Amino acid sequence: MGESRRVDLAQMGVWGREVRVEFGDRYEEVWLQTIGDRTEALERGHEAMQSKLLEFRPGSERSEALTEALRLAPAEDVVELALAAERPRVEARLRREMPEPVKPRRDQAARETERDLARRLEEHEQRCREVAAARAARMEESLRSRREELLGMPREELVELARPRRIDIECWNAFARTCDDWVLLGAVRRAEEHGQTYFRDISEVEALHPAVKEQLRTAYRELEPREGDEFPKS
């Protein structure tokens, strides 16, 4: 038998590959590797989210600009924002009113057979599909009715309902962008020296051209296809 190979536990789960980043007729080859610990990226993302939220404090210039933008936006767009803000409450209410059926367990006392349990489980899955379909239909009807109601509201009332959702989107976008940047800061390495990060500090990542950053983002997703938290979508 060959000699067993020992591994450094701290490096388990860390792997990478060469990536060719193109921009126009130029290119650069880098080494892209998983970063392992995402704590700092997530912390920086939450800091960015909180900072963005403060920009919309009542009376601030950014808050006033947002209100004015919503006043001038097409009514249909503002209505969809207001609906998106209300959707979680509607979903929660429908789940209470139409809960998931209880999954059956094998009845040991009645000496239930595997076949009988399998049959009941199949019936349970069918019932779950029926409940999900009924819930979706109720959701669609609720949103349709609410959409008509919102379209008949005065613009100022509609703007106040839509503001929270617009601010929420801005905050999550800030979280996503910041997480992206801090992940790439640790993930992108020199092709000739994998132990050396390509960027000296976060400002260099932030200054990347969007086309370049998107190539790196996409390559990192492909490197960790089971991980979706590094780059939250807007």
- Please check the confidence at residue 155 and state whether its pLDDT lies above 90: yes
DSSP string, 67-82: HHHHHHS-HHHHHHHH
What is the percentage of the chain residues whose pLDDT exceeds 90? 74
- Please check the confidence at residue 230 and state whether its pLDDT lies above 60: no
Is 233 or 28 the better-scoring residue by pLDDT?
28
Residue range 174-188, pLDDT digits in tens: 999 999 999 999 999
The pairing of strands 26-33 and 193-197 is unpaired
pLDDT of residue 229: 47
Residue range 60-79, pLDDT digits in tens: 999 999 999 999 999 999 99
Residue 197 belongs to what H/E stretch? strand 193-197
CA 46 to chain centre: 13
**Spatial contact of 188 and 30, defined as CB atoms under 8 Å apart:** yes
pLDDT of residue 146: 95
Full-model pTM: 0.75
